Chains A and B, each alone.
Chain A
Amino acid sequence: MSDVAPRAPVTEDPLVESTLLEGRYSNAQLGESLLRPVLGAPGWGWWALVGLCSALVVLLVVAIGVTLFVGVGSWGNNIPVAWAFGIINFVWWIGIGHAGTLISAILLLFGEKWRSSVNRMAEAMTLFAVACAGLFPLLHLGRPWKFYYLVPYPSALRMWPQFRSPLTWDIVAILTYLTVSVLFWYMGLLPDLATARDTAKETWKRRAWGLLSLGWRGSARHWRNWRTGYLLLAGLATPLVVSVHTIVSFDFAVAQLPGWHTTIFPPYFVAGAIFSGLAMVMTLLLPARRVLRLQHVITDAHLDVLARLLLVSGLFVAYGYIQEHFFGWYSGDPYEMHAMSILRTGPYAPAFWTVFTCNVLVPQLFWSRRLRTSPAVLWVAALIVNVGMWLERFVIVVSPLSEDFLPSSWRHYAPTWVDLSLLSGTVGLFGLGFLLFLKLLPPVPISEVKQLQDELEASERFARDVVAKARAPGGGA
């Protein structure tokens, strides 16, 4: 439990199973409990994790160096598997990012109150995941220093990008997604940076947060414009989530290759992205909640609703698998049927059935309410789903490429140490980014949680008044 003593317990309400805020606090206390992770000194666990992640980042730098000096030939992909780890990791990372935007933007539009406690961490996760994702297409270019060829700048060679190619769509989509995510995140941070500035005791911290908060004073004019702008940005980010992963799926779907050339891909990819992202949110949120003692704002109600979302998006993903195989069979096309059968019984069967177990069977646990609110079960399940979703991308990318139309050109794929280092290195980069975020910026939106408490108290007061009126002599209907 959290170590802030609540000012008052929550009013007993038989209709509410678990509330979004355990206990009621004064605004100052609430703010302090949420700023504690930032104001205090980091513990040994934080340093240990930073050390581990930094080691992985060093590995990443080495692998990038090898890729640049030796060339993409140091990777395991070749003809016919011309796409492999580079694109798998890209799709996996960018998918992880999507749940962050889903939680923060779509739920804001729908007026879901529970988002307030978790959205900041989810958005931070999005930023680092998208940054990791962006690395892979860049390195896959072979000559990353010429990436600007993808931008329509007026060169003397009159060499324009080919805008009918999904790869140019990709770069616009990723850059837009990254930019909009940063803007949305920073906008949401402004009031909390001001709170951090005003709570901090050290001058240098006050100055640093003061610069970042851009002079926020919480004036009525500020709040009015901020709320309008934030809501509009959420409205823009919402279709962006769907469009970005749709465009990523076009990389595959517009090809003629059996197993890729299918219309189910855009929604199937979007569902998978949200599924994997939710799993990653829980992977990060559950330990952070415990270590930073945030149980009073991230309650059982939050775990419950996240687990439900994981279950629902898992069912969408399962539907995608069924559709994929059904249409492979229903097409009557021998090539399509082959692409699907190597998954079920061929060389990729072990990978495919692992994917099926991780992504379809494991989420079924969460039909049980007891499991939905058990942090340990949730965390392990989320880890399994993360692995399953990575393997799913592996199966999607590699299997159709390795056995396509012409049996004489079939060849299977194995990653090299550079591939594996790039993958684990980005995990380290992602972890390092998230750890620094937890230490430098308020991990839970303070002003939004205060506002939530304000609203909860107002509705409790209202309920008490109604009851009192009904009980009063001569009152009530």
Chain B
Amino acid sequence: MSRWVLGEFRTSEQLLEAARALRARGFTRMDALTPIPVEGVDEVLSLPPSGLPLLGLVAGVGGAGGAYLVQWFTQAVDWPLDVGGRPLHSGPAFIPIVFESAVLAAAGALFLGVLVACGLPRLTHPFFDVEAFRSASIDGFWLAVPVDDDAGRDAVDSALRGLGASQVSLAEEERP
């Protein structure tokens, strides 16, 4: 069973302050849930750097190479068709499709990459059971702290309230 204590703050500054304070008290694996991206929260939560740029590069180069190979194989190897004595392996004529395929492969990989990195799509999440959590996409700045037992829960609860959380709730997930 996983448990989180969720605390709502009114502003992004309050959220950042609270996250820093909890961090200093030794809480880790926290998450911030906000309606807009909050500058500086990545450092406080020490999120790992994103691997998306590399993914896009690899997929783009792969798409380009694949497109060139297909064109070369079909036009120059498998079914050579002499049109007015033009070269069969006509590189410059292949460039438009090579470029488009690079973009297509990179964009597709990036889109899927973002979903995988975010753990989406996901139909349900224990946070959604908390009715007040609806404000997380409207105007509430939420901090989620994972807890192991009731003692930890109470500690986080009072810590969040002490840091100025306007409300505190508990989210639980039953693991089969």
- By a beta-carbon cutoff of 8 Å, the part of chain A in contact with chain B is 26-28, 31, 152, 158-164, 166, 168-169, 172-173, 175-176, 179-180, 183-184, 186-187, 191, 194-195, 197-199, 211, 214-229, 232-233, 236-237, 239-240, 243, 247, 250, 447, 450-451, 454
- Across the interface, do B93 and A228 meet the contact criterion of CB distance under 8 Å? no
Interface window among B20-28, B31-39, B147-155, B156-164: B31-39
- By a beta-carbon cutoff of 8 Å, the part of chain B in contact with chain A is 12, 31-38, 41-42, 45, 47, 50, 52-53, 56, 60, 70-71, 74-75, 78-79, 81, 83, 86, 90, 93-94, 96-97, 99-101, 103-104, 106-108, 110-111, 113-115, 117-125, 127-128, 134-139, 144
A302 to B169, CA, bound (A): 42
Q: Select the residue from A217, A239, A243 with max chain B CB neighbours within 10 A.
A: A217
CB-CB < 8 A to B36: which residues of A? 27, 447, 450-451, 454
**19 pairs of residues in contact across A and B, judged by CB atoms under 8 Å:** A27-B36, A163-B75, A169-B97, A172-B97, A173-B96, A198-B137, A214-B115, A215-B125, A216-B137, A217-B128, A220-B32, A220-B42, A221-B118, A225-B118, A228-B52, A229-B114, A236-B60, A240-B100, A454-B12
- Across the interface, do B56 and A232 meet the contact criterion of CB distance under 8 Å? yes
Q: CB within 8 A of A217: which of B117, B127, B138?
A: B127
- Across the interface, do B53 and A28 meet the contact criterion of CB distance under 8 Å? no
Q: How far is the CB of A431 from chain B (nearest CB, A)?
A: 28
Question: Which residue of chain B lies nearest to A197 when distances are taken between CB atoms in the complex?
Answer: B137
> Known contacts being A176-B104, A232-B110, is A243 close to B96, with CB within 8 Å?
yes
CB-CB < 8 A to B134: which residues of A? 198-199
- Across the interface, do A27 and B35 meet the contact criterion of CB distance under 8 Å? yes
Question: Which residue of chain A lies nearest to B74 when distances are taken between CB atoms in the complex?
Answer: A160
Extra A-B contacts (4), CB below 8 Å, given A27-B139, A225-B50, A232-B56: A176-B101, A176-B104, A228-B52, A229-B113
- Across the interface, do A226 and B38 meet the contact criterion of CB distance under 8 Å? no
CB-CB < 8 A to B37: which residues of A? 223-224, 227, 451
CB-CB < 8 A to B33: which residues of A? 217-220
- Across the interface, do B104 and A179 meet the contact criterion of CB distance under 8 Å? yes
Question: Which residue of chain B lies nearest to A220 when distances are taken between CB atoms in the complex?
Answer: B32
Identify the 7 closest CB pairs spanning chains A and B, nearest first: A215-B122, A27-B139, A229-B114, A214-B121, A160-B74, A198-B134, A223-B37
CB-CB < 8 A to A179: which residues of B? 104, 107-108
